[in-house]
Structure 1
Amino acid sequence: MKFRPCIDIHNGRVKQIVGGSLSDQGSMAVENFISEQDASFYAALYKNDHIKGGHIILLNPNGTEYYRQDCEQAKKALREYPGGLQIGGGITEENAADFLKDGASHVIVTSYVFKDGIIHYDNLKKLVKAVGKNRVVLDLSCRKSEGEYFIVTDRWQKFTTVRVNLDTLNALTDYCDEFLVHAVDVEGKSSGIEQELVKILGDWGKIPITYAGGVGSFQDLSLLKELGQDKLDVTIGSALDLFGGPMKYTDVVSQLR
């Protein structure tokens, strides 16, 4: 299990938010932390510690003023650490190559592929043709409904009919290099991991998967490693001292090398 750091950008600022609180109306969210540093500060830190494969997430809708501000922040990070970070949020076939040219190692995609409640394989194939399978990360961020996990889109506001299960993972593995999975119901709460989801992901483990959501302690990391059968990487956000939490970044880095 490796540590995959994050840089979440909302309204042009590096933040940590409660995942399920995002709203397009007024660009609002419940905020755990607002950084006084810009995105390049965190990129430089991750670069100096030789941590690759972290992700930048743009949390405002594409086409809005705030999205442009998010992109400006993201480009600072990508210039600081070219090839070291992935980027997601508003990614389409049309703009994916531009983000890679700006220095992203991969583009992370959700709503362009998962929309109207289904998987749009035509868009997925267009994306793969534009940038290559090895540069695509599919974001399978999900919420639980009636005992099952369903992929959610549009800043985690809309449910699809696509379940996060072994069949879905098998169907999508030919179109991407990695999966990123935010457990949205616990995202930003530092309240413990989604154990059932972690078991599903750990039972599969055919390509890299990064799990995010709910990690609040080193005990959570141990449980994640056990239940995920040491097949999953992990992102820690609000619980990290970089973002106002109790877990020391340096301790996480030393433990998850």
Structure 2
Amino acid sequence: MRFRPCIDIHQGKVKQIVGETLQADASKVVENFVSERGAEDYASLYKEDGLTGGHIIMLGAGNLEAALSALRAYPGGLQIGGGITADNAAEYLREGASHVIVTSYVFRDGRLHRDNLRRIVEEVGKERLVLDLSCKERDGKWYVVTNQWTTFSDLEVNEETVRELESYCDEFLIHAVDVEGKREGVQEKLAAKLAEWTRIPATYAGGARSIADLERFRELTGGKLDITIGSALDIFGGALPYREVVTYCEKSQSR
């Protein structure tokens, strides 16, 4: 199990927000943390600690300059997502992203746009693409949600759909929408199922708040999934020491 660091950028600043509140009306966004440090500072920290496979997410417009500063601070060390399309993806790779992360370009208006998925694979290659699956539970099943997590798609996340999507991408980034940003613990049922279904690298995001949560996550997944933590970390205003997380995950890889 690897720790995958994150840099979420909103209105040009590094922030941690409750994802379900990210709407067109900015006044309704719930911010857990707004950093005084630039995105490049976090990228440099992750580079110094040898952390690879982390991600930058641009939450809306006005974040390009900050995102590029982070890519340039850690070339080849970070993935990037937020507004990625087949038309602009290659540019982010040239700017130093290891992968591009795709969400709304392929999941839009409640359905999977396979033509767009095939197009971006043709543009950047399967080996440089990460698919972001934002999963929300309904009636005991998980579905990809779209439109800033407000619309259920018709795509159920299960073994069959995971197998299909794996043929298009190098990794998954999977948000547990019901717990993301709330520091209430991981979505255990989803984490266990993802470990059962996935055969390519996959990073889980949502709810982790303590070393005990990491231990439980590793137990549930057999160390098969990686994890990212945002709001709970002390570098983002939380109580969980970033350094402890890095050390714990490093040790878990040697077990």
- Would you say same fold, with TM above 0.5? yes
Partner of 1:7: 7
Match of 2:204 among 191, 208, 211: 211
Q: CA deviation at 1:25?
A: 2.4
**Divergent runs of 4+, >3 A:** none
Partner of 1:63: none
Partner of 2:64: 71
**TM-score normalised to structure 1 length:** 0.95
Partner of 1:247: 240
Determine the C-alpha separation between the residues in 1 that align with 2:103 and 2:81: 8
Preserved CA contact (<8 Å) 2:109 2:147? no
1:198 equivalent in alignment to 2:204: no
Partner of 1:24: 24
Counterpart residue type for residue 68 of structure 2: K
Partner of 2:121: 128
RMSD: 1.0
Partner of 1:158: 151
Preserved CA contact (<8 Å) 2:83 2:104? yes
Preserved CA contact (<8 Å) 2:109 2:146? no
Preserved CA contact (<8 Å) 1:113 1:119? yes
Determine the C-alpha separation between the residues in 2 that align with 1:245 and 1:111: 29
Partner of 1:88: 81
Using the TM superposition, name which of 204-213 and 150-159 deviates more.
150-159
Q: Is the partner of 2:167 in helix, strand or coil?
A: helix
Determine the C-alpha separation between the residues in 2 that align with 1:157 and 1:71: 25
Q: Is the partner of 1:91 in helix, strand or coil?
A: coil
Partner of 1:40: 40
Q: Is the partner of 1:140 in helix, strand or coil?
A: strand
Q: CA deviation at 1:27?
A: 6.7
Partner of 1:187: 180
Q: CA deviation at 1:116?
A: 2.6
**TM-score normalised to structure 2 length:** 0.96
Within-5 A mapping of 1:169-180: 169-180=162-173
Partner of 1:64: none
Q: How many residues are paired up? A: 250
Q: Is the partner of 2:63 in helix, strand or coil?
A: helix
Preserved CA contact (<8 Å) 1:198 1:227? yes
Q: CA deviation at 1:28?
A: 4.2
Determine the C-alpha separation between the residues in 1 that align with 2:217 and 2:101: 23
Could you give the per-residue CA deviations for residues 46-71 of structure 1, whole angstroms, max 9, x where no partner exists? 000010100001111xxxxxx1x211
Unaligned 5+ segments in structure 1 are 61-66
Preserved CA contact (<8 Å) 1:52 1:84? yes
Q: CA deviation at 1:167?
A: 0.9
Q: Is the partner of 2:219 in helix, strand or coil?
A: helix
Q: CA deviation at 1:156?
A: 2.0
Partner of 2:253: none
Unaligned 5+ segments in structure 2 are 251-255
Determine the C-alpha separation between the residues in 2 that align with 1:2 and 1:93: 29
Preserved CA contact (<8 Å) 1:143 1:152? yes
